[in-house]
Structure 1
Amino acid sequence: MGKIGSSGYHHGNLRRVLLDAALEAIVEQGPTAWSLRELARRANVSHAAPAHHFGDKTGVLTAVAAEGYELFADALERESHDFQRVGLAYVRFALERPAYFTVMFRPDLYRVDDPDVAAARDRARAVLVAGARTFAAGTAPDRAVVLAAWSCAHGFAHLWSSGALPESVAGDPERTVGEMFRSLFGGSHADGPPA
């Protein structure tokens, strides 16, 4: 198990160092198998540092969820003009940032009413709803259309990242999800996924 810091002294942001230690622990052990004491050890800081910055483990996971939703919303907003592109960004985020993705979609792990979490989550949802309009004839999409589109992106990301799909071993997730979206929703990206 690696350590984030090399000494007990940090020139930069100790909160950032602790969040990085948490992300590392989540990837290696899952979102619940580590302790604040382990985070301190990984970050090479005093055992009191995580509690000082986050209060408790739920506080750490709330900070991870808030930061994850911010990054997620940023990624989705860059592609907000077309749901197929939003869907690709969704899957790309899940595969490139698995620790965030795991925590964000486990609301039992963090404080869902935290204002930072709520604001970033609402930004991401707004992009998903707006993207769903691209295949709902420009009208306000009904909840079923939004849920279908979201479920496709989320379900694919989970299946791919868990290795449940045969293609997960040697395939191209962006090409595969692009083909899936085109077959389900039609679309203009017939030449393959956008770069």
Structure 2
Amino acid sequence: MTSERAYHHGDLRRALLTAALDVIAQEGPDALSLRDLARRAGVSHAAPAHHFKDRTGLLTAVAAEGYALFADALADAPGLQERGVAYVRFAAQHPAHFQVMFRPELYRPDDPALLAAKARATEELRAAVGELPRTGDDARAAGIAAWSLAHGFATLLLSGNLDGPVDGRDPAELFRSVAGFLFRSPTTPESS
């Protein structure tokens, strides 16, 4: 490897992550190989192992980065409904991260950086659920319901199953509308 190649990348780790995200977004995480990433980056086939050790290490880095970005996106959204909107927007803007984050068989779930980022994202989700009025085990059920709605919508979106309903609309705005059905207070009959 020449110094010109090393200089060209500046940050080989970042270049490999970016190439991996492109492959995952286009072909899915199962298509990822370190040898192919090295070829794409113009480095020796052994170079990626210096940064990630193996394919699982690379996918662990993708998941950790994804959870960190996810936590940032959630932190900027006020309230449970808006965090759901942020959840869907994150999935639409970071489909490769999203695909890896929720497939723990792809990465090392005990990785310290991953655990820290995942804990931060989980805390952001729980904080929004904590704002809901509830009693007993309702908090856990409310969290599962909110997660199911946002994650289900995001998954349907990324798999192309919402192409018809979205039809050129902003998916996050459509989710806001869908979630609004759950957040509306019951209407009371008007007095005559």
TM-score for both structures, normalised by structure 2:
0.87
Instruction: Tell me how far 1:140 sits from its aligned partner.
Output: 8.7
Please give the secondary structure, in 2, of the residue aligned with 1:135: coil
**Runs of 4+ deviating beyond 6 Å:** none
Instruction: Tell me how far 1:14 sits from its aligned partner.
Output: 1.0
Match of 1:70 in 2: 68
1:51-70 to 2 correspondence within 5 Å? 51-70=49-68
Instruction: Tell me how far 1:139 sits from its aligned partner.
Output: 9.1
2:141 corresponds to which of 144, 147, 162: 144
Match of 1:9 in 2: 6
Asked if 1 retains the 8 angstrom alpha-carbon contact of 2:130 and 2:139, the reply is: no
Instruction: Tell me how far 1:44 sits from its aligned partner.
Output: 1.1
- Whether 1:89 and 2:86 are equivalent positions in the alignment is yes
In structure 1, runs of 5+ residues without a counterpart are 1-6, 188-195
Please give the secondary structure, in 1, of the residue aligned with 2:32: coil
Identify the range of structure 1 (142-151 vs 161-170) with the bigger mean alpha-carbon deviation.
161-170
Match of 2:188 in 1: none
Asked if 2 retains the 8 angstrom alpha-carbon contact of 1:133 and 1:140, the reply is: no
Q: Distance in 2 between matches of 1:138 and 1:163?
A: 38
Instruction: Tell me how far 1:137 sits from its aligned partner.
Output: 5.1
Instruction: Tell me how far 1:163 sits from its aligned partner.
Output: 1.7
Give the structure with the larger helix fraction: 2
- Whether 1:122 and 2:119 are equivalent positions in the alignment is yes
Q: Distance in 2 between matches of 1:181 and 1:139?
A: 24
Q: Distance in 2 between matches of 1:35 and 1:64?
A: 14
Match of 1:3 in 2: none
Please give the secondary structure, in 2, of the residue aligned with 1:151: helix
1:98-177 to 2 correspondence within 5 Å? 98-136=95-133, 142-165=139-162, 166-177=164-175
Q: Distance in 2 between matches of 1:159 and 1:21?
A: 25
Which structure: larger Rg? 2
Q: Distance in 2 between matches of 1:66 and 1:141?
A: 30
Q: Distance in 1 between matches of 2:125 and 2:11?
A: 33
Please give the secondary structure, in 2, of the residue aligned with 1:8: helix
TM-score for both structures, normalised by structure 1:
0.86
Q: Distance in 2 between matches of 1:136 and 1:18?
A: 45
Please give the secondary structure, in 1, of the residue aligned with 2:31: coil
Look up the equivalent residue of 2:80 and give its one-letter code. Answer: F
Instruction: Tell me how far 1:70 sits from its aligned partner.
Output: 0.5
Asked if 1 retains the 8 angstrom alpha-carbon contact of 2:83 and 2:125, the reply is: yes
